[in-house]
Amino acid sequence: MTDDYAFLVEALAPERVSVDEYARAEHAGDWGSRPEDEVDPDVVVWPTTTEEVAAVLAAANERGIPVTPYAAGTGLEGNAVPSEAGISMDLTRMDDILDIRPEDHQIDVQPGVLGSAVDETAADHGLFFPPLPSSGDISTIGGMIATDASGMQTVKYGEVADWVLELEAVLADGTVISAGSKAAKTSAGYNLKDLLVGSEGTLAVVTRATLELAGRPQQVRGGRAVFSDLADAGAAIADAVQSGVDVAKIELVGRRAVEVANAYVGTDLPDRPMVFVEFHADHGIGEEIEFCRTVFAAHDPIAFEMAGEAEMEELWQLRKDMAYALDEWDSDTRQLHPGDVTVPMSEFPDIVRFARERADAADLFMACYGHAGDGNLHYEILVDPDDEDEVERGEEVYAAVVERAIELGGTATGEHGVGLGKREFLATEHGEGSVRAMRAIKDALDPNGTLNPGKIFPDEG
């Protein structure tokens, strides 16, 4: 421990402060950070209470030492990379479920709790946490709040922000604040809650969250439609959403993505674009399924099959394992930055076609999938990192798809946040004036730039 960080041992027990090389290396990056962007923090701390978070922040802020919150490290945009070194604040030991009030459909948790733990606790009371992302069994609530994550059920239930009622958070100077309300709605002053959600730990460290839960639907049915090409699949999805089919999940998996997932999961699904659907209802689920079938029928599906209850888990495994499958596909390639564009529903077929055509024209391997019912497309370009020309072509196509999505009224990042990876697109999407306004808010709440420096804003890092 260098003298510079001796103050941390006053704020925390010594075993919760580490300058160990391995611990520091473990906190240098996240799932989506490029090796060249990763930075070892100088020290890692594991606070266990709000008071400890506040003590560390107040002391670091006074000393001009950066603090970057860290949890499961499952971010996809380098959101938790300690770009200016300093302190990595690991929140995984604040992983208690503090209270559940089933009569109010509310649960209070610490930020390090896994999403799946929330869901399991809720299940004991006939409830669930609807916006859980696909990574929910390994990612934390704090991380989901940091990026305003969403998941397969967002098409019906909304994103994480919609299910966060109240937050306790610590500002850069150590001030503990509360934001939001345990009431279902409030108009009491500025909406700090939704300002903190999605701010990627650059404005405050969340130390407690009151989440809303939903009652489990009485009826759940899943199924799968196969289309001959991506255009038909995209059009079928847009048509279903626009027609008001009440789907709880509607996911696109492109032909390449099916191929990749088949290899990983060991399945033998037809090598065609697929649309996975799930329906939730308390009654009348059969009518909703038939409605969907009718809408899909106009787009030449090769098949549309509903799964039995026993097959549901298997049905979704392929979609859930997509991220792992891509990692394992070819050891000679690596994935470029994860694609996460989201566009208005009517533009979804356009962005899918655009991405596909550009990738083909540039002779790139690209897998397409995503939360299609939200207009959210993940497009994953795999390149040989030693092939400079291929990497360059990949970068060009990657950026062209983002720019196209923004032109279509959409966003560079539907659910992963800006982190390091999407900074260059922020002003294109929102305009210089909006970025200046965001910057003014950052400077107002964190004048020393203590919290997670180098993220979100294009002029930093």
Does 175 bind a second copy (CB under 8 A)? Our answer is: yes
What's the Rg (C-alpha) of the chain? 22
Among 48, 220, 307, 344, binds a second copy (CB under 8 A): 344
Nearest distance, CB of residue 455 and a second copy, angstroms: 10
Q: How far is CA 124 from each of CA 100, 101, 112, 121, rounded to the nearest angstrom? A: 10, 12, 20, 6
Does 124 bind a second copy (CB under 8 A)? Our answer is: no
Strands (E), 192-306: 204-212, 214-215, 219-227, 249-253, 274-281, 301-306
**Among residues 221 and 393, whose Cβ is nearest to a second copy?**
221
Going residue by residue from 264 to 303, which x/- string records binding to a second copy, judged by CB under 8 A? Answer: -----------------xxxx--xx--x------------
The rounded distance, in Å, linking the Cα atoms of 380 and 328 is 13
Does 136 bind a second copy (CB under 8 A)? Our answer is: no
Among 3, 36, 103, 268, binds a second copy (CB under 8 A): 103
Nearest distance, CB of residue 88 and a second copy, angstroms: 22
Does 188 bind a second copy (CB under 8 A)? Our answer is: yes
**Cα atoms in the 13 Å half-sphere on the side-chain side of 258:** 22
Nearest distance, CB of residue 372 and a second copy, angstroms: 11
Does 153 bind a second copy (CB under 8 A)? Our answer is: no
Nearest to 333 by CA among 428, 260, 240: 260
Nearest to 426 by CA among 441, 413, 443: 413
Among 378, 393, 404, 416, binds a second copy (CB under 8 A): 416
Nearest distance, CB of residue 196 and a second copy, angstroms: 9
Among 21, 22, 36, 184, binds a second copy (CB under 8 A): 184
Total residues belonging to the chain: 461
Asked if residues 292 and 238 have their Cβ atoms less than 8 Å apart, the reply is: no
Does 374 bind a second copy (CB under 8 A)? Our answer is: yes
Does 412 bind a second copy (CB under 8 A)? Our answer is: yes
Residues numbered 2 to 61 that lie near a second copy (CB under 8 A) are none
Going residue by residue from 51 to 90, which x/- string records binding to a second copy, judged by CB under 8 A? Answer: ----------------------------------------
The amino acid at residue 249 is K
3-state DSSP of 64-99: CCCEEEECCCCCCCCCCCCCCCCEEEECCCCCCEEE
User: If residue 101 lies in a helix (H) or strand (E), which one and from where to where?
Assistant: strand 97-101
DSSP letter for each residue of 387-436: -HHHHHHHHHHHHHHHHHHHHTT-BSBSSS--TTTTGGGHHHHH-HHHHH
Token couple for 297 = 């029928």
**Among residues 394 and 410, whose Cβ is nearest to a second copy?**
410
Does 448 bind a second copy (CB under 8 A)? Our answer is: no
Does 425 bind a second copy (CB under 8 A)? Our answer is: yes
Does 154 bind a second copy (CB under 8 A)? Our answer is: yes
Please enumerate in sequence order all residues whose Cβ is within 8 A of that of 379, keeping only pairs 6 or more positions apart, or say none.
Answer: 339, 341, 355, 359, 366, 367, 368, 370, 398, 401
**Among residues 49 and 243, whose Cβ is nearest to a second copy?**
243
Phi, psi of 46 (to 5 degrees): -125, 80
The rounded distance, in Å, linking the Cα atoms of 156 and 250 is 9
Among 13, 25, 63, 242, binds a second copy (CB under 8 A): 242
Does 314 bind a second copy (CB under 8 A)? Our answer is: no
Does 414 bind a second copy (CB under 8 A)? Our answer is: yes
**Among residues 81 and 203, whose Cβ is nearest to a second copy?**
203
Nearest distance, CB of residue 407 and a second copy, angstroms: 11
Does 159 bind a second copy (CB under 8 A)? Our answer is: yes
**Among residues 184 and 310, whose Cβ is nearest to a second copy?**
184
Does 191 bind a second copy (CB under 8 A)? Our answer is: yes
Token couple for 181 = 């309300």
**Among residues 200 and 380, whose Cβ is nearest to a second copy?**
200
Among 375, 394, 421, 453, binds a second copy (CB under 8 A): 375
Please enumerate in sequence order all residues whose Cβ is within 8 A of that of 298, keeping only pairs 6 or more positions apart, or say none.
Answer: 236, 239
